Structure 1
Amino acid sequence: MTPPELVDSHCHLDFADFDGEVPEIIARAAAAGVRRMVTICTRPANEPKVRAIAEAHAGVFYAMGLHPMSVGEVSALSLEDLVAYARHPKMVGIGETGLDYHYTPDSAAAQQQSLRVHVEAAQETGLPLIIHARAADEDVERILAEGMATKPFPCVMHCFSSGARLAEAALEMGFYLSMSGIATFPKSGDLREIFARAPLDRILVETDSPYLAPVPYRGRRNEPAYTAFTARTGAQVFGVSEAEFAAATTANFDRLFTKAAVAAQVG
């Protein structure tokens, strides 16, 4: 039986955990129905490697940004930098960006400035903004709302595991929520309830691999093929079949990541 088509909307194929194995990892993903994925660049120095992976594999696209936890360590990206990166045909998203006050609270002010620059890049390019939010829900909501008030932009709340208020605010702004392996964990009942209250047409799935492997692989290295296990939980949360959930989230991905959708059709 052919597995339903899924998209891993967020992974990190350039990380050392996958060195020397990327072709095999992509092949395993395809066998599991995950024939497209977005690999995320989190700092400028990594961009050549991330871009090369995307260029070498038809179903792999990439996003470019400065991770909030790296803001205090490397030079900031400018609006001009991000717009220039976005000219590449396989660069399909801005980020990940956002705020992380759990691990890096000392750089909060710089993180906020970086987030605003990434918002401007999403506004300028029309590419979706990819948001990381940890222990910073109020400031994330405020800065995104300020940006939407000036010029609307597309956005996904990556690996969503924040509170109900941020979920509601994101949905009200027209954004998407992305479900990761965290949603499969036994103690994530509250998170599953937040997802269940969201419209199915605003949901994506992702691995954030090599991190956050879903049950039954929790605690091991994650990889894009495991998107299927998170999607199985997603289908249960929304009370639909796995095929229906896969079709819905794939359509959602194409609606948000329009550049990737067009490239896939051309290819």
Structure 2
Amino acid sequence: MPHPSAALKKVGLFATCLVNTMRPRVGFAALKLLEEAGFEVEVPKEQTCCGQPNYNSGDRNGARAMAEHFLKTYEGFDYVVVPSGSCGAMVRVHYPKLFEEGDPLKPRMEALAGRTYELVSFLSDVVGIELAPAATPLSVTYHDACSGLRELGIKAQPRALMGQKKCEVKEMEDAEVCCGFGGLFCVKYPEVSGEMVRRKTEAALASGAEALVTGDVGCLLNMEGALLREGKEIKALHIAELLADMTE
């Protein structure tokens, strides 16, 4: 049922690079959730990378150019929703830092950043959505992706929404510890990254859950890849796929 807060509100869905190229089903799941909540949703074709790789490697000019393009692309929406904690944090937390005081674009960027939300945070904190139970609820264990947890304060929200789906949450050991992806970290330090994801997948398996769930596609692909290489039988799902009943 459409939520009252959705009346006449337009959402720009920022799909992100990894969703678009590696896991498009996450984008469709996010779209389904937002439309079922009653929002008018658009996915601008002009969207590009958020610029986080540039920003993390010190290329502030490149990141600034992408921030300006993001502003041009999404400023006309009431909300911007991102199915990724890391990309959401890039926009919400770091974009305003790319504009100096006195820059006429700074207040516009701050305003847009303030109405940009990670998907689960938006559904829980802004909409207060109520979800129908899943037809076949899964037992799940949740990995708290670094950016979503530490920069956006996303911790209780996904667990509450999974509870609405009647999923049994089996907490893994060190759920808040990094999976080893870390954007450029896994490229610069592959041995360390590999050991970190090995420990993460071991913890997920030890939980006894049927599915390993997270809110960031980078973490999801890293953990899913490790599980596949090890031949482990546990689903790896983005939280949007779980909430939208798109788990197969």
TM-score range, shorter chain: 0.3 to 0.5
More strand by share: 1
TM-score, length-scaled by structure 2: 0.37
